[in-house]
């Protein structure tokens, strides 16, 4: 049977997406190895489980979970031997039926030492816990601050000390914190388990002290071994620092599950949920719908039909401001308001054709009104990014694009309902901001393997930077041949393309995860479930908006 041109295009797109997903899975497999098999073997020789094994034992069997910032540190700190996963594993999952955050130091990565990205990842975990009133469990096994980089992790506001400040704030807000010392816990890091509500320590492997035996000897001349100085017996029988003494990792994790089982139910925010209905359209069809060539148009409605319940949604102002789709729908039963960029050519009110993926004045105005409506009705917001930015040029400027764009940003930034962002394709410039980029506090922000985050596309940036580079070289008297100009362009574009990849963003925790597109429903559903733990107490107020 001969395939139509549309079917051939679908198959090419599908193949391209599957290749990207295969790459994602290969990259994750590397991350899951942590510091390598030899380091894993050494842990087991000490009777310890790895960070991921601990988490697997702790979480309820056969339940979903979301890993946060798995790619943190990817490609960074190579001169220090690297820091895969940021040296810590963070998941949102379920323990004894309670949704919570689990943070586990990976002792196979520099003995669990804290790099700058480790601090950022831990702070992100605490931020998620505080935003959603989620219990947080720390599985501690860390050598403390990585001293060669102490100036980048120790003194600033968003550095190591912020962790303990957050411990105190969460305790004051009644957010449960449980810490298990399952390995080293030294220096300033020793405060984390003790600033938690309850702490456990594993006999023979867990130690807590402000200074280890070598430093004690050097500082005050006292000779003492680490176990006597700060082991399980010391801290459960003498100092009273820890509350529970466990014989091994397994017993410790079982005790945590028992403690979590007794936690009372929290008041919820009342977000509406009905019985979940699977999409009529197979979620894997997004593989073929999203074009391999990012310049080609596609209808975002086809993507939505693969994500929302029963493939049904109700569009708000369908025929106005068509470069943004605004719609009410359900995702895994949860009521949501969707703001999505539209990539097909559309007509405005005057019958003029508009480029897809660009935000125009009428689209920004529509989105702002829709966002206000969702806040009025206590409906969580979901933003699907594939945006090149706001429309430029004299016509747009004279029409007040800056004013209308500011209206959309204002309405979105002041939202009191939880916001979730999924970067499907482009997320460029001010379009990223308007569509609830990381700077605007989405409860979760994830990317598909096709995502690109930057001020502008690689090609556009390379052309701009090339002009500057060529002008500079000519000013120095250099003659620029077409071949030299092409060489410069490719060099600039290659460097910029690396920076706009989703892996570059994920390594720096600009996004919380890179996901298979078919996981989108799960991420949004678990995100709203988490957000539902925290009632909305703020009044929605957008401040001053020019109209």
What is the DSSP annotation of 11-51?
A: HHHHHHHHHHHHHHHHHHHHHHTTT-HHHHHHHHHTT---H
- Amino acid 457: pLDDT: 77
Q: How many CB atoms lie within 10 A of CB 4?
A: 9
Question: Is-contact 91 69, C-beta < 8 A?
Answer: no
pLDDT at 398: 67
CA distance 336 to 346: 25
Beta strands 177-186 and 207-209, pairing class: parallel
Residue 394: pLDDT band (50, 70, 90) is confident
Q: What local confidence, expressed as pLDDT, does residue 469 receive? A: 82
Task: Say how far apart CA 272 and CA 277 lie, in whole Å.
Answer: 15
What's the rounded mean pLDDT across residues 62-69? Answer: 98
**Mean pLDDT for the chain overall:** 92
Looking from the CA of 173 toward its CB, the CA atoms found within 13 Å total 21
pLDDT at 546 over 70: no
| DSSP run (H or E) holding 334 | strand 334-341
The residue assigned the tokens 């409605």 is: 301
The answer for residues whose C-beta is within 8 angstroms of residue 410's C-beta and 6 or more apart is 368, 542, 543, 545
pLDDT higher than threshold 80 for residue 543: no
pLDDT tens, residue by residue, 217-239: 888 888 888 888 989 999 999 99
Three-state secondary structure string covering 457-504: CHHHHHHHHHHHHHHHHHHCCCCCCHHHHHHHHHHHHHHHHHHHCHHH
Q: Which pLDDT value is given to residue 235?
A: 94
Interval 91-103: pLDDT, tens: 999 999 999 999 9
Instruction: Return d(Cα 518, Cα 288) in angstroms, integer.
Output: 13
Taking the C-alpha atoms of residue 122 and residue 509, their distance in angstroms, rounded to an integer, is 11
Report if pTM > 0.85.
yes
- Closest residue by Cα to residue 183 from 220, 118, 139: 139
For residue 322, the model assigns a pLDDT of 92
Please name the residue that has the structure tokens 């079917």. Answer: 7
For 253-284, how does the pLDDT look when each residue is reduced to its tens digit (9 = 90+)? 999 999 999 999 888 999 999 999 999 999 99
What mean pLDDT comes out for the span 332-340? 98
In this prediction, residue 463 has a pLDDT band, given cuts at 50, 70 and 90, of confident
């Amino acid at each position: 049977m001969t395939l139509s041109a549309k079917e051939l295009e679908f198959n090419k797109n599908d193949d391209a997406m599957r290749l990207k997903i295969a790459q994602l899975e290969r990259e994750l497999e590397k991350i899951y190895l942590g510091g390598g098999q030899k380091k894993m073997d050494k842990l087991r020789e000490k009777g310890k489980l790895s960070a991921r094994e601990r988490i697997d034992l702790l979480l309820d069997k056969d339940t979903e979970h979301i890993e946060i910032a798995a790619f943190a540190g990817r490609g960074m700190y190579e001169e220090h031997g690297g820091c895969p996963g940021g040296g810590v594993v963070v998941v949102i999952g379920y323990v004894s039926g309670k949704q919570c955050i689990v943070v586990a130091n990976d002792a196979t990565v520099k003995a669990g030492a804290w790099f700058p990205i480790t601090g950022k990842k831990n702070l992100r975990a605490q931020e998620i816990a505080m935003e959603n009133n989620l219990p947080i469990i720390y599985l501690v096994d860390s050598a403390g601050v990585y001293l060669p980089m102490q100036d980048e992790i120790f003194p600033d506001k968003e550095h190591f000390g912020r962790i303990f400040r957050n411990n105190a704030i969460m305790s004051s807000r009644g957010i449960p914190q449980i810490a298990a010392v399952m390995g080293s816990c030294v220096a300033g890091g020793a405060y984390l388990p003790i600033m938690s509500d309850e702490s456990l320590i594993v006999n023979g492997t867990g130690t807590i002290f402000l200074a280890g035996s070598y430093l004690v000897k050097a500082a005050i001349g006292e000779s003492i071994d680490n176990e006597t100085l700060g082991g399980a017996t010391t801290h459960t029988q003498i100092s009273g620092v820890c509350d529970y003494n466990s014989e091994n990792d397994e017993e410790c994790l079982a005790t945590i599950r028992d403690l979590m089982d007794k936690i009372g139910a929290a008041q919820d925010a009342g977000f509406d949920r009905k019985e979940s209905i699977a999409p009529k359209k197979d979620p894997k069809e997004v593989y073929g719908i999203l074009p391999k060539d990012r310049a080609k148009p596609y209808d975002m409605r086809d993507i939505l039909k693969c994500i929302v319940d029963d493939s049904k949604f109700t569009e708000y102002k369908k025929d106005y401001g068509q470069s943004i789709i605004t719609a009410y729908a359900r995702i895994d039963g949860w009521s949501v308001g969707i703001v999505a960029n539209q990539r097909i050519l559309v007509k405005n009110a005057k019958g003029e054709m508009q480029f897809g993926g660009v935000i125009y004045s009428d689209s920004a105005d529509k989105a702002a009104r829709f966002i206000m409506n969702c806040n009025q009705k206590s409906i969580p917001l979901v933003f699907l990014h594939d945006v090149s930015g706001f429309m430029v040029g004299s016509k747009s400027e004279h029409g007040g694009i800056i004013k209308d764009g500011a209206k959309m940003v204002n309405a979105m930034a002041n939202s009191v309902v939880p916001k979730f962002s999924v970067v499907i394709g482009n997320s460029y410039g001010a379009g990223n901001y308007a569509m609830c980029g990381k700077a605007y506090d989405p409860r979760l922000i994830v990317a598909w393997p096709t995502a690109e985050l930057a001020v502008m596309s690689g090609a556009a940036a390379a052309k701009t930077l090339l002009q500057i580079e060529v002008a500079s070289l000519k000013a120095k008297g250099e003659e620029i041949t077409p071949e030299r100009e092409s060489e410069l362009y490719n060099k600039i574009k290659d460097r910029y393309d690396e920076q706009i990849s989703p892996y570059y963003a994920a390594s720096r925790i600009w996004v919380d995860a890179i996901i298979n597109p078919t996981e989108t429903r799960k991420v949004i559903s678990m995100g709203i479930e988490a957000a539902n733990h925290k009632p909305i107490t703020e009044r929605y107020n957008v401040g001053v908006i020019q109209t």
